[in-house]
């Protein structure tokens, strides 16, 4: 479905060039679609991966959101791909099927995890798209950092990837990348591969840093004016493409990739494609960056091959293979996300002894529900006296009844203290 719909949407701008001018409107429609589905406007593949790492399930509405958003962006000629969309759709579909079949949580690195059905769906979708079941499984395992909850279901992941590969192979729908002849092994070829790898590291790091910075700036302002920001990005993209005559750089970049593998590319083509991709994705348009990164890597490798005298096709293929490994899913292995995980584990380890002491201490039986959550919260944060006072107050049925609505609103937000209502807050102050 994703391949057919995005392929059809990508073919229309070549037949109707005026669709490029409609890109701001199409971007605003994609933001409206996410709002209609109650999805965060800034949700990206990186955010989906973070959900899987945290052991949470991905919302099922994301399948519709990313499919519609990617088609709208490609319909206007935006420089995005569909492969990251396939990862999000796979994670969303896997999570929905996991709920439908009532799959039990698995024990992960940080406790019970519900994210492994989404990881299985990601591997299956990627395998069907690139005809690479083994590589898809390893790719997803790296994204979730080999979490135990996912590793225990590695056989199921491999089986899903193989089934998806067989179906896609029989149907013949996916990304068909041309083959390239390999030169003989020599010291010159090894040195050229080393040069390609170094350029890949620099290019991938710059691409990820620029995209992350632009997305961070967009995310800070998206809450107030998301439609206006997307429209500004669409106008900027359309203006640059029309002024410079860069219509060939619209879409996923599969045509540029095939040309680079054939040895046909200008020296600065990779920079143009990278800049347009960062502009579109950074301003909140929906789509992926995997295929644009493949095309950017192939264009850069072809330019290096032409400059050094190495086979341009082989250089493009080597650069294409290494570009995605260096760029990755932005933020997927960043130091910041690792630091956040380490801080969370440290806070959990610090609070565990206090919770055990509170449970073992003599006194009234612990409370269930929202008031009990607040009592445990205060104990975990070093306020046992306040927890005891609020625990006694929680046994008053009238107070519980008055604060029921406020408690329901905050139950799904961990780390926030449940509200008690005006009367309950007044009684808490009297007791304290």
Average pLDDT per consecutive 10 residues, the chain (432 residues; last block may be shorter): 84 91 94 91 84 82 92 93 86 87 70 76 88 89 79 89 91 73 77 81 86 84 80 93 92 85 83 92 88 85 76 59 49 45 52 56 50 47 49 48 49 44 48 45
Per-residue pLDDT at 381: 46
Please tell me the distance from the alpha carbon of residue 96 to that of residue 58, in angstroms, as a whole number. Answer: 8
Per-residue pLDDT at 186: 80
Strand 106-108 and strand 111-113: pairing?
Answer: antiparallel
Q: Which residues of 122-134 are buried (b: 16+ CB within 10 A; e: fewer)?
A: bbbbbbbbbbbbe
Q: CB–CB of 237/280 below 8 Å?
A: yes
pTM of the model: 0.71
Q: Which of 230, 214, 251 minimizes the C-alpha distance to 20?
A: 251
Burial class (CB in 10 A: 0-12, 13-18, 19+), 328: buried
Please tell me the distance from the alpha carbon of residue 391 to that of residue 136, in angstroms, as a whole number. Answer: 50
């Amino acid at each position: 479905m994703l391949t057919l719909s995005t392929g059809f949407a990508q073919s229309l701008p070549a037949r109707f060039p005026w669709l490029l001018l409609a890109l701001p409107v199409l971007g605003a429609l994609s933001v409206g679609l996410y709002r209609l589905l109650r999805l965060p406007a800034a949700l990206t593949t990186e955010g989906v991966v973070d959900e899987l790492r945290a052991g949470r399930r991905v919302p099922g509405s994301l399948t519709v959101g990313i499919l519609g958003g990617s088609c709208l962006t490609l319909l206007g000629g935006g420089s995005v791909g569909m492969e990251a969309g396939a990862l999000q759709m796979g994670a969303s579909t896997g999570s929905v099927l996991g709920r439908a079949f009532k799959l039990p949580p698995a024990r992960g690195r940080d406790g019970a995890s519900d994210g492994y059905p989404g990881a299985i769906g990601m591997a299956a979708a990627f395998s069907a798209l690139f005809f690479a079941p083994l590589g898809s499984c390893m790719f997803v395992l790296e994204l979730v950092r080999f979490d135990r909850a996912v590793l225990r279901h590695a056989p199921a992941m491999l089986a899903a990837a193989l089934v998806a590969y067989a179906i896609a192979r029989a149907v013949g729908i996916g990304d068909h990348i041309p083959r390239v002849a390999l030169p003989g092994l020599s010291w010159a070829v090894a040195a050229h591969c080393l040069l390609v790898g170094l350029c890949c590291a620099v290019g991938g790091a710059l691409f990820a840093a620029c995209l992350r910075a632009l997305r961070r700036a967009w995310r800070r302002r998206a809450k107030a004016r998301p439609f206006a920001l997307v429209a500004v990005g669409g106008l900027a993209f359309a203006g640059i493409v029309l002024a410079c005559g860069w219509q060939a750089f619209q879409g996923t970049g599969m045509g540029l990739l095939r040309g680079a593998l054939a040895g046909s590319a200008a020296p600065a083509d990779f920079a143009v494609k990278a800049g347009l991709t960062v502009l579109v994705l950074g301003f909140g348009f929906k789509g992926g960056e995997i295929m644009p990164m493949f095309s950017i890597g192939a264009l850069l490798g072809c330019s290096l091959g032409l400059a050094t005298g190495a086979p341009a096709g082989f250089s493009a293929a080597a650069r294409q293979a290494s570009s995605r490994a260096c760029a990755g899913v932005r933020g997927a292995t960043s130091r910041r996300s690792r630091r956040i995980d380490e801080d969370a584990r440290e806070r959990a380890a610090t609070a565990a002894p206090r919770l055990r002491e509170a449970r073992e201490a003599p006194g009234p039986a612990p409370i269930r529900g929202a008031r009990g959550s607040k009592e445990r919260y205060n104990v975990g944060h070093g306020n046992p006296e306040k927890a005891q006072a609020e625990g006694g107050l929680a046994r008053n049925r009238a107070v519980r009844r008055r604060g029921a609505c406020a408690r329901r609103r905050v139950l799904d937000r961990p780390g926030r203290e449940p509200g008690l209502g005006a009367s309950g807050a007044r009684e808490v102050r009297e007791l304290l």
